[in-house]
Structure 1
Amino acid sequence: MLLSSRIPHSKPLAAGSRVQAPRPAARLVSVQANASLRTLLDDASGAGLGKVRFIVLGDGAILESVNDWGSVRYNEVPNRGLLATIASADKSFECHITLSKVKEVRFAKSKAKAGDYDIYATRFYGEDGKVMLSTILHGSQGAYDPAAVQAWTSLASKYGDSVTF
């Protein structure tokens, strides 16, 4: 967002005079400067992302699960810190994120490896620079809910390509 302020003239101009007022200095106000991971998660929760594929890569295993990105709740856990939980109503799906472990979130729109459609991914990176969690809009061969694409695009516009914490 670009903000500017007008600088008033200190003395009146003579009739017929044309003096160009100095251009006000513009300053770039970035949402990232004040962004917290909790704010980003709350914004994602309220955005209406719909069905999302949650992907966790482990050492020798990959876990993928599809669930609605619904509400997020927070719990302070001894020896772990603040945990964010995204869960299904029946708790058959739960995703827990230790907020202190996330150092960066990146929004990336890219072409699918197989097929002519876009992928809308949000990736959470840890201290080591490795992806801890990826969330990708879910749709068969790029058939996404248009509202979900708009929600993801709005989040990516608000936070930019990358947010560090």
Structure 2
Amino acid sequence: MLASRPRPFTSSGLRRAARPPATALRLHAQAGVTVRSLLDDAANAGLGKVRFIVLGDGAILESVNIFGSVRYNEVPSRGVLATVASEDKSFECHITLSKVKEVKFVKSKAKSGEYDIYATRFLGDDSKVLMSCLLHGQQGQYDPAAVAAWTDLATKYGESVTF
């Protein structure tokens, strides 16, 4: 029988063992996350039709479009803009990446009706909502693949990602 040397006792080994794996994975997944990488994941996830909502000072804009491909352009006065657009350009959404400070994945009950709302909220300074993207469906009748795609994104990134 081979004799083995006893390993020295260190507290760092205990800390690693006591940490729950889900939290460690969530922190690891967020470590290299950028707004751009999150948008690319969302574009490739298969979210389908999404209701884009932007609240302005005195106006609200809502439009439904497929959350598909995203392209990026450097604009000298604004920085990098992400653009989600329909193929015929009848819909375009531009997001100034440097303005996004946090993205939240929020599943909540509808204000009227017995169904869930699946929202991705883009927040800026002072946690002000820049834009919300909600899965689109009539009275909670969502495409099951879109719900699965949103749930996968929310699981990967957690409830909130800060930049």
TM-score, L = length of structure 1 = 0.85
Pick one of 116, 119, 131 that aligns with 2:117: 119
- State the AA in 1 paired with 2:88: D
- State the AA in 2 paired with 1:113: K
Identity of aligned residues (%): 72
After TM superposition, the structure 1 = structure 2 runs for residues 49-64 of structure 1, keeping only pairs within 5 Å, are 49-64=47-62
Runs of 4+ displaced beyond 6 Å: none
Pick one of 91, 94, 98 that aligns with 1:93: 91
2:4 aligns with 11
Pick one of 12, 22, 25 that aligns with 2:16: 25
Pick one of 42, 45, 58 that aligns with 2:43: 45
Structure 1 alignment gaps of length 5 or more: 1-9, 14-21
1:134 aligns with 132
1:155 aligns with 153
Where 2:111 maps in the other structure, the secondary structure is: coil
Equivalent-residue separation in structure 1 for 2:30 and 2:153 (angstroms): 12
**How many matched pairs?**
148
Query: How far did residue 25 of structure 1 move?
Result: 2.6
- Higher helix proportion: 2
Deviations 1:44-99 (A, max 9, x none): 00000000000000011000000000100000001100000000000000000000
Query: How far did residue 12 of structure 1 move?
Result: 7.4
